[in-house]
Structure 1
């Protein structure tokens, strides 16, 4: 009888490990589902897309970046010479200065983010402007890059005709989406000016989600320039 109890206890111990692993897995899956649900742009499904979004919280630099400065003044930022589209972070050292250019908002996705000059560590704190591309709201092809899962987790859901705004000081630039497609990271031609278009916006993020072998490109054209209500 004692031997049978010992064997039963031993069997129970062996079963306990897989059960704990299974329970931990279920907890992780549940946490992932909750996070996805929290970030999902539910307004698209409910037909309640907001006309405006609040500005993002002020930038707070953390970790190795804590000694850097955040400024709205123009500062030179070195161009990315990697020969690939931005997406994966390549910089190891924090810049001395983070240059804030404006605020990007995508109401249908609930995205409200600072735009910073550069597409390295800058994308930890918002959306990065591709150095050398057209300025925000200016003629040419203005290229911005953001990480996935945040803030461009659901960029693939943007549809033709949806609006994107960029606030720069007292001016608000409104762009209208007209196409989206995927390219390889080496296809930097998407940063060039677009024939037949005067002022365009190109949004870039990694795709497929969690694989990041390609880059998702969403293009929009400038359709309105007006006063920025957030600056009043």
Structure 2
């Protein structure tokens, strides 16, 4: 009889401890990636926005999965987030994931960034049309203005088109924001490239 309550208490301690460990581990990885991103883009400021030119002239090689490639700055929510190449769970633990195969700033195509709703994109729902998003890359800084937001089903594949007719930044995360478990929808933010700053 006395073993059952003890077993329940120990199970509870284990579950809480494991959850706390995951949270701390994720925070450490995110902070490490943020430091890497800041080192990578050092010297780039919002005043140094680059004009469009082919990416092959800007970087010597394409990034590998898991590489830190830049910094996403969201002024409204005072966020600076590392951009990591790839959107697998390992990459999303470190920061905002750049969808492999989507374009990079300056390539005149669709740039897709994804993040977890309970970590890096926790406050994404506070953004409004007209808010600015800045991508700082080793080769320049690009500023985007939010034009639209929408909610789609989790299996809607029409969002990522990988078009290359115009430069647009798309942020994606799971929705509803405070949902527990696998969320049934996705929250999408569309942003257009603003004119380069002088």
TM-score by length of 2: 0.64
Larger Rg: 1
Alignment of 1:26-175 (within 5 A): 56-58=34-36, 74-77=62-65, 98-120=66-88, 121-175=90-144
The structural deviation recorded for 1:186 is 1.2
Tell me if the contact between 1:127 and 1:146 (Cα under 8 Å) persists in the aligned partners.
yes
What secondary structure sits across from 2:111 in the alignment? strand
What secondary structure sits across from 1:102 in the alignment? strand
Aligned residues: 142
The residue number in structure 2 matching 1:176 is 145
Tell me if the contact between 1:161 and 1:177 (Cα under 8 Å) persists in the aligned partners.
yes
The structural deviation recorded for 1:57 is 2.8
CA distance in 2, matches of 1:109, 1:153: 10
The residue number in structure 2 matching 1:224 is 195
Tell me if the contact between 1:199 and 1:221 (Cα under 8 Å) persists in the aligned partners.
yes
TM-score by length of 1: 0.55
What secondary structure sits across from 1:134 in the alignment? coil
Which of 162, 166, 180 is the equivalent residue of 1:198?
166
CA distance in 2, matches of 1:199, 1:119: 20
Tell me if the contact between 1:137 and 1:222 (Cα under 8 Å) persists in the aligned partners.
no
Unaligned 5+ segments in structure 2 are: 1-32, 38-59
Structure with larger RCO (C-alpha < 8 A, sep 6+): 2
Do the aligned partners of residues 206 and 190 (structure 1) sit closer, same or farther apart at CA in structure 2, a change above 3 Å counting? same
Superposed CA RMSD? 2.7
CA distance in 1, matches of 2:145, 2:63: 29
CA distance in 1, matches of 2:170, 2:158: 12
